[in-house]
Amino acid sequence: QPSPAVDIDRISSKLEKLEICVSEEKEKAQSMVRRIDTLKADYSDTEKQTIASTQEGEVLRQRVSRDRNIETSKEESHAKTLANVHNEREAVATLKCSVTDLEKSQQQEKTNDSTTITNQNALISELEKEFEVSKSHLTTENQLLKEMKIAAENAKTCSIEAIQTAHANTEEVKNEFEQAQQKVKEVAASCGSEENQELSDISRAQKILIQDKEAEIEKHTKNHPCLQQIKCSYNATETTEKQASDALSGLRSACEDRIASARKERNDRVEAKTREVIALRKKEEMDVKRAEHEAAQEAQRLKNEKLKRIAKQEAIRRSEIEAEEARRLEMERELELEEQKNAEAELAEKNRVEEEERRAR
C-alpha cells in the first residue's frame, strides 16, 4: 500500500495538471469571448451596412419616384414656367438691388472703420501726451534731485570751511601757547638775573664781613638774613616756575580739548550731513524708480487695453465682413442656381417644342 507522502505528491501533480487545464480553458474561454466580440462587431458592421444599403435603396426609390413625378409634372408646370421666369427675373433684379445695398452697407462699414481708426489714433495721441507729461514730471524730479545734490555739495563746502576755521582757531591757540611759553621763559630769565644780582650782593657782603669779623661770620653764617633772603628768593623762583608749568600744562590741555572738541564737532557734522545726503539720495532714487515703474506699468496697461480693444473691434469687424461675404456668396450661388434652372427649363421647353414640331411634320 502506498505511503501518504506518495499520495500527496500524486495529488499535487494532479492539482498542477488541473490548474494547467483550468488556465488553458480560461485562455480558450477568453479566446472565445474575443471571437464572440469580433463576431458581434462584424455583425454590427454588417447590420450597419444592411441599414445603409436599405437606406440607399430607399433613397434610390425616392429619387426614381421623384424623377417620375418631375416628368409627369413637367408638362403641368410648362404653363407656369414662363411666369416663373418672369418672377425669377424680378427676383434677380431684387437680388441685384440687395447686392447693391450690401455693397453700400459695406462701404458705410468701411467709413465707420476709418472713423474708428481716427478715434483710436486720437486716443493714441492723448496717451502719448500723457506719457510726455509723465516724462516732464520725471524731468522735474530729476532737477530737484540735482538741486538737492548741489545743496549737499554746499553743505560739504560749509563743513570744509568750518574745519578750516577750526584749524585757524587751533593755530591761534598754538600762537597763544607759544607767547605764554615765551613769557614764562622771560619770567624765568628775569628771575635768574635777580638771583644772580642777589648772589653778587651776598658775595660782596660776605667779603666785607670776612674782612671785618671773621669770627662772627663763622658763628652766624646759618642765621644770616641774606641767606634767608636767598632761600626765599629761590623758593619764590621755584613757585613761579611751578605756576608757569602748571599754567602751561593747563593751556596745553585747554588747547588739546578745544582741538578735540572742534574735530569731534566737525566729524559729527560731516557724518550727519553725509547720512542726510545718502538718505536723500536713496529716497530720491527710490521715488524715481517707483515713478518710472508706475509710469511703465501705466503705459503697458494702456497699451494692452488699446491692443485688446483694437483686436476685439477687428475681430468683430472681420466676423461681420465674413458673414456679409458669406451671405453675398450664398445669394450669388442661389442666383446662379436659379439662372441655371431657368436655362435648363428654357432648353427643355425649346427641345419639347422642337420635338412637337418634328412630330407634327
Three-state secondary structure of the chain: CCCHHHHHHHHHHHHHHHHHHHHHHHHHHHHHHHHHHHHHHHHHHHHHHHHHHHHHHHHHHHHHHHHHHHHHHHHHHHHHHHHHHHHHHHHHHHHHHHHHHHHHHHHHHHHHHHHHHHHHHHHHHHHHHHHHHHHHHHHHHHHHHHHHHHHHHHHHHHHHHHHHHHHHHHHHHHHHHHHHHHHHHHHHHHHHHHHHHHHHHHHHHHHHHHHHCHHHHHHCCCCCHHHHHHHHHHHHHHHHHHHHHHHHHHHHHHHHHHHHHHHHHHHHHHHHHHHHHHHHHHHHHHHHHHHHHHHHHHHHHHHHHHHHHHHHHHHHHHHHHHHHHHHHHHHHHHHHHHHHHHHHHHHHHHHHHHHHHHHHC
Q: The C-alpha cell of 67 is what?
A: 424623377
Average pLDDT over residues 299-315: 85
Q: The C-alpha cell of 17 is what?
A: 495538471
Q: Each residue of 201-231: pLDDT tens digit?
A: 544 554 555 455 545 544 544 454 554 554 5
Q: The C-alpha cell of 334 is what?
A: 442661389
- The angle that helices 225-360 and 4-212 make with each other, rounded to 10 degrees, is 150
Compute φ and ψ for 350, nearest 5 degrees.
-65, -40
Query: What percent of the chain is predicted at pLDDT more than 90?
Result: 0
Task: Count CB atoms within 10 A of the CB of residue 108.
Answer: 10
Confidence of residue 355 (pLDDT cuts 50, 70, 90): confident
Top mean-pLDDT range of 16-30, 126-140, 154-168: 16-30
pLDDT score at 89: 65
Question: Rounded distance, CA 14 to CA 11, Å?
Answer: 5
**pTM for the whole structure:** 0.24
Q: Each residue of 144-178: pLDDT tens digit?
A: 656 656 755 665 566 566 556 655 655 665 566 56
**93-97, 227-231, 270-274 — which is least confidently predicted?**
227-231
Query: What percent of the chain is predicted at pLDDT more than 70?
Result: 49
Which candidate, 82, 88, 102, 101, places its Cα nearest to that of 336? 88
Q: Which amino acid is at 137?
A: H
pLDDT score at 275: 85
Cα end-to-end distance, the chain, whole Å: 121
Q: The C-alpha cell of 300 is what?
A: 503697458
Q: Which amino acid is at 112?
A: N
Task: Count CB atoms within 10 A of the CB of residue 196.
Answer: 10
